[in-house]
């Protein structure tokens, strides 16, 4: 027998309980997640944006609100200036961002190993935990979220979801991307004597620009 068959046979030998049909197993699996509110934290505030903000900032993420996408270049310019960074950054190659008028901020594509700052977009935000969701794809290089020291993420307020399960529900029936990542705060480590240091390998700074209006 090959290792696969040996392992599966050993499992079947070890399991003495009756083996139900796959449909019954699937139904049991679904039932395990019934009434999710009983077993998950309540939101930090009734309003999704407020709840998200409370959780995100508690982790060291900074947050600002702009009315529309067109306000982003100015917001980015202010952020870079406030952190003493040169007025330029790597940009996620997605039309929603590349089509903006970047007058005054030198944007470029491609991410250098020591990129000072980069701007990307989140697909969703999760209010429960203050997390941002990104999926890999042609317009979403994963390294854009990990190489820069300052990571700025644009999130539409309309894309805020209450709980982690609301994200998984959105993905049901969809093809899973190569990488789906929940980003919850800037990179950190407590590996030296338990003392918290930001910017271990990933970004030391995470800034969210919340866009309140669509279009």
Partner 1 sequence: MTAAQPSFKARAEAALADRTLKLAIDRTTGNAERKRAAALAAFPEFEAARARGKAIKDHVIAHLDHYLEMFARNATASGAQVHWAADDAEARAIVTRICLDAKAKIVTRAKSMLGEEIGLPHALADAGIERVETDLAEHIIQLAGEHPSHIIWPAMHRTREQVADLFREGHNPPPEAEDPATMVQSARRVLREKFLGADIGISGANFLVADTGATCTVTNEGNAELTTTPPRIHIVTAGIEKIVPSTAHAMALLRLLVRSATGGELTQYTTFHCGPRRPGDADGPEEMHIVLVDNGRTKMLADEFREMLRCIRCGACMNHCVVYRQIGGHAYGGTYPGPMGSVLTPVLDGLAGSRDLPHACTMNGRCQEVCPVGIPLPTLLRAWRSRGWREGLEPGAVRAGLGLWARLARRPALYRLASRIGVRVLRLFGRGGWIGSLPLAGGWTGYRDLPRPPGRTFMEQYRADQARKEVRK
Residue 51 falls in which region: left (phi positive, over 0), alpha (psi -120 to 50) or beta: alpha
Work out which of 67, 84, 103, 114 binds partner 1, going by CB under 8 A: 114
Task: Specify which residues 118 forms β-bridges with.
Answer: 90, 151
Work out which of 46, 84, 95, 113 binds partner 1, going by CB under 8 A: 113
Task: Specify which residues 151 forms β-bridges with.
Answer: 118, 206
- 3-state secondary structure string, 40-98? CCCCCCCCHHHHHHHHHHHCCCEEEEECCHHHHHHHHHHHHHHCCCCCEEEECCCHHHH
CB of 9 to partner 1, least distance (A): 9
Does residue 189 touch partner 1 according to CB under 8 A? Answer: yes
Would you say 68 or 201 has its CB closer to partner 1? 201
CB of 23 to partner 1, least distance (A): 11
Does residue 56 touch partner 1 according to CB under 8 A? Answer: no
Does residue 91 touch partner 1 according to CB under 8 A? Answer: no
Does residue 103 touch partner 1 according to CB under 8 A? Answer: no
Does residue 182 touch partner 1 according to CB under 8 A? Answer: yes
What residues from 122 to 161 belong to the interface with partner 1 (CB under 8 A)? 128-129, 131, 136-143, 145-147
Does residue 199 touch partner 1 according to CB under 8 A? Answer: yes
Does residue 78 touch partner 1 according to CB under 8 A? Answer: no
Please provide residue 211's backbone torsions phi and psi, each rounded to the nearest 5 degrees: -95, 120
Does residue 162 touch partner 1 according to CB under 8 A? Answer: no
Instruction: Give whole-number Cα distances, 80 to 21, 69, 84, 184, in Å.
Output: 58, 18, 6, 22
CB of 70 to partner 1, least distance (A): 25
Does residue 200 touch partner 1 according to CB under 8 A? Answer: yes
Burial class (CB in 10 A: 0-12, 13-18, 19+), 25: exposed
Work out which of 17, 46, 67, 215 binds partner 1, going by CB under 8 A: 17
Q: Count of CB atoms within 10 A of residue 122's CB?
A: 22
């Amino acid at each position: 027998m090959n290792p696969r068959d040996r392992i599966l046979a050993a499992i079947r030998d070890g399991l003495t309980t009756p083996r139900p049909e796959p449909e019954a197993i699937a139904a049991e699996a679904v039932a395990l997640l019934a009434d999710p509110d009983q077993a998950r934290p309540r939101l930090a505030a009734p309003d999704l944006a407020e709840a998200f903000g409370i959780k995100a900032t508690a982790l060291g993420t900074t947050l600002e609100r702009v009315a529309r996408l067109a306000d982003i270049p100015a917001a980015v310019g202010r952020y870079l200036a406030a952190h003493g960074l040169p007025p330029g950054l790597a940009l996620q190659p997605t039309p929603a961002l590349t089509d903006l008028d970047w007058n005054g901020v030198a944007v470029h594509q491609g991410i250098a190993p020591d990129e000072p700052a980069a701007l990307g977009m989140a697909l969703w935000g999760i209010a429960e935990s203050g997390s941002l969701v990104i999926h890999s794809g042609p317009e979403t290089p994963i390294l854009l979220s990990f190489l820069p020291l300052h990571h700025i993420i644009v999130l539409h307020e309309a894309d805020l979801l209450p709980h982690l399960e609301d994200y998984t529900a959105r993905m049901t029936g969809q093809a899973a991307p190569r990488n789906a990542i929940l980003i919850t705060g800037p990179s950190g480590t407590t590996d030296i004597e338990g003392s918290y240091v930001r910017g271990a390998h990933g970004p030391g700074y995470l800034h969210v620009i919340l866009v309140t209006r669509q279009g």
